[in-house]
């Protein structure tokens, strides 16, 4: 892709996100969402492969439908209350429609069907944007409207997302699909607490973005797209794979790594809100995620001889760790000791 065009699309992504998260009016928020959608489409389809074109088409159709629902919800609320302010969402039908629209944009169950296919058809760098940066505007809208949304609906969608994300990730061999179902599961943890402590949702999102960025950039360095390729990367970059192992375990939520921090806080907050049953169900369902993360970590650290010419070429290539990847990985696995300070702030 032309560097100037890539710069335009990147700036458009930043502009659309900034407009959405800083707006108080529904029309400007909708405008930012549309700018984001139009800017990411060329980045998804830049390889001109049929799978990439299919992913871009699916993404456009889903996001356009979700944006139309956001606009319809805001218009219904404005018709009833005369208010276009995002925080003044009071009409029950508008709240229900907006919940569906945000769930569709994020990829929550039962609107998850598009996300694994889109992520599988996208390059790793674009997949990183789809998993992290593109989730920020919908989460910002969810944050601003959380007092008006139905907590029971959010809790039900969250539990189903954690269950389906863990269950569907068990039989996958493509790493991007595994990370897609991991994203669905993590979004469930963010959604379940949004109505009770929105700051914990933002903390969970920031830490998830940090760990996911470390994983995607590491996989992009080793060019590993499936488990069979990941197995042959140990001799190519042993230090990088060791750090990838720790990052995957942190993403799984194993103590004492950073990924355990948000889940610990969320379970504590749910218990305080007399939702110990939901906290127990989420804790048990997270074991499904732990299984496929352990499988990924195992594939990243075992050594098998290569079998194809392409893998032989990778086998003989040495890889060094870039400073950005090293900083991301170190932060994503070593942040838990400062948890008392974070707990005091939230």
Calpha distance 290→251 (Å, rounded): 9
Banded model confidence at residue 342, pLDDT cuts 50, 70, 90: very low
Q: 92 lies in a domain?
A: yes
User: Do 91 and 6 belong together in one domain?
Assistant: yes
Mean pLDDT of 200-214: 89
Calpha distance 242→222 (Å, rounded): 13
Structurally, how many domains does the chain consist of? 2
274: left (phi over 0), alpha (psi -120 to 50) or beta: left
What pLDDT sits at residue 316? 44
What are the two backbone dihedrals, phi and then psi, of residue 316, each rounded to the nearest 5 degrees? -95, 5
Calpha distance 40→52 (Å, rounded): 12
Please give, one letter per residue, the 3-state secondary structure of the chain.
CCHHHHHHHHHHHHHHHHHHHCCCEHHHHHHHHHHHHHHHHHHHCCCCCHHHHHHHHHHHHHHHHHHHHHHHHHHHHHHHHCCCECCCCCCHHHHHHHHHHHHHHHCCCCCCCHHHHHHHCCCHHHHHHHHCHHHHHHHHHHHHHHHHCCHHHHHHHHHHHHHHHHHHCCCCCEHHHHHHHHHHHHHHHHHHCCCCCHHHHHHHHHHHHHHHHHHHHHHHHHCCCEHHHHHCCCCCCHHHHHHHHHHHHHHHCCCCCCCHHHHHHHHHHHHHCCCHHHHHHHHHHHHHHHHHHHHHHHHHHCCCCCCCHHHHHHHCCCCCCCHHHHHHHHHHHHCHHHHHHHHHHC
Calpha distance 343→345 (Å, rounded): 5
Give me 3's structure tokens: 């560097």
Q: 162 lies in a domain?
A: yes
Calpha distance 74→147 (Å, rounded): 16
Residue 155's Cβ-side half-sphere holds a number of Cα atoms within 13 Å equal to 14
User: Do 186 and 309 belong together in one domain?
Assistant: yes
Give me 24's structure tokens: 């108080």
Domain that holds residue 291: 150-345
User: Do 17 and 56 belong together in one domain?
Assistant: yes
Q: 187: closest CA among 164, 220, 167, 219? A: 164
Banded model confidence at residue 243, pLDDT cuts 50, 70, 90: confident
More confident residue, 223 or 185: 185
User: Do 212 and 69 belong together in one domain?
Assistant: no
Report whether pLDDT(231) > 90.
Answer: no
Q: 222 lies in a domain?
A: yes
User: Do 220 and 276 belong together in one domain?
Assistant: yes
User: Do 101 and 199 belong together in one domain?
Assistant: no
CA 229 to the chain's CA centroid: 23
Calpha distance 53→13 (Å, rounded): 20
Q: 259 lies in a domain?
A: yes
What pLDDT sits at residue 332? 61
Domain final residue pick, 122, 138, 171: 122
User: Do 230 and 171 belong together in one domain?
Assistant: yes
What pLDDT sits at residue 334? 61
Q: 140: closest CA among 187, 102, 181? A: 102
Q: 247 lies in a domain?
A: yes
User: Do 167 and 300 belong together in one domain?
Assistant: yes
What are the two backbone dihedrals, phi and then psi, of residue 25, each rounded to the nearest 5 degrees? -105, 140
What pLDDT sits at residue 166? 87
Residues 15-61: pLDDT tens digits?
Answer: 999 999 998 889 999 999 999 999 999 999 888 888 889 999 999 99
Banded model confidence at residue 90, pLDDT cuts 50, 70, 90: confident
Q: 7 lies in a domain?
A: yes
Report whether pLDDT(305) > 90.
Answer: no
Query: Of the ranges 45-49, 140-144, 168-172, 319-323, which one carries the lowest mean pLDDT score?
Result: 319-323
Calpha distance 231→300 (Å, rounded): 6
Q: At what angle do helices 276-301 and 175-192 cross, to 10 degrees?
A: 160
User: Do 285 and 174 belong together in one domain?
Assistant: yes
Q: 143 lies in a domain?
A: no
User: Do 165 and 289 belong together in one domain?
Assistant: yes
User: Do 233 and 288 belong together in one domain?
Assistant: yes
Banded model confidence at residue 154, pLDDT cuts 50, 70, 90: very high
List of residues 6+ apart from 75 with CB closer than 8 A: none
Report whether pLDDT(68) > 70.
Answer: yes
Mean pLDDT of 237-253: 80
Residues 9-27: pLDDT tens digits?
Answer: 889 999 999 999 998 889 9
User: Do 14 and 100 belong together in one domain?
Assistant: yes
More confident residue, 332 or 216: 216
Q: 161 lies in a domain?
A: yes
Residue in this structure with the two tokens 């998850």, named with its chain if needed = 112
């Amino acid at each position: 892709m032309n560097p100037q065009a890539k710069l335009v699309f990147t700036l458009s992504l930043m502009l659309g996100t900034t407009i959405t998260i800083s707006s108080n009016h529904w029309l400007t928020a909708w405008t930012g969402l549309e700018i984001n959608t139009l800017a990411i489409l060329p980045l998804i389809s830049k390889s001109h492969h049929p799978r990439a074109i299919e992913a871009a088409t699916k993404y456009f159709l889903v996001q356009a439908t979700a944006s139309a629902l956001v606009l319809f919800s805001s218009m219904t609320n404005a018709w009833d209350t005369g208010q276009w302010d995002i925080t003044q969402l009071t009409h029950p039908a508008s709240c229900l429609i907006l919940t569906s629209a945000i769930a569709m944009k994020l990829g929550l169950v039962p609107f998850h069907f598009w996300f694994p296919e889109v992520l599988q058809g996208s390059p790793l760098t674009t997949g990183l944007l789809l998993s992290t940066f593109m989730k920020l505007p919908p989460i910002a809208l969810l944050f601003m409207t959380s007092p008006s949304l139905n907590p029971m609906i959010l809790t039900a969608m969250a539990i189903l997302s954690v269950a389906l994300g863990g269950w569907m990730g068990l039989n996958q061999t493509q790493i991007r699909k595994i990370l897609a179902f991991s994203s669905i599961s993590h979004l469930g943890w963010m959604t379940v607490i949004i109505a009770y402590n929105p700051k914990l949702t933002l903390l969970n999102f920031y830490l998830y973005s940090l760990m996911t960025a470390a994983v995607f950039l590491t996989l992009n360095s080793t060019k590993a797209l499936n488990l069979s390729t990941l197995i042959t990367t140990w001799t190519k970059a042993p230090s990088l794979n060791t750090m990838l192992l720790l990052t995957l375990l942190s993403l799984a939520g194993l103590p004492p790594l950073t990924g355990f921090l948000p889940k610990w806080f969320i379970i504590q907050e749910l218990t305080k809100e007399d939702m110990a049953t939901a906290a127990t169900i989420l804790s048990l369902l997270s074991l499904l995620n732990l299984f496929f993360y352990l499988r990924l970590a195992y594939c990243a650290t075992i050594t098998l001889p290569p079998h194809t010419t392409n893998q032989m070429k990778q086998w003989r290539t040495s890889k060094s760790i870039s400073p950005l990847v090293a900083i991301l990985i170190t932060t994503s696995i070593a942040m838990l000791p400062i948890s008392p300070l974070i707990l005091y702030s939230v």
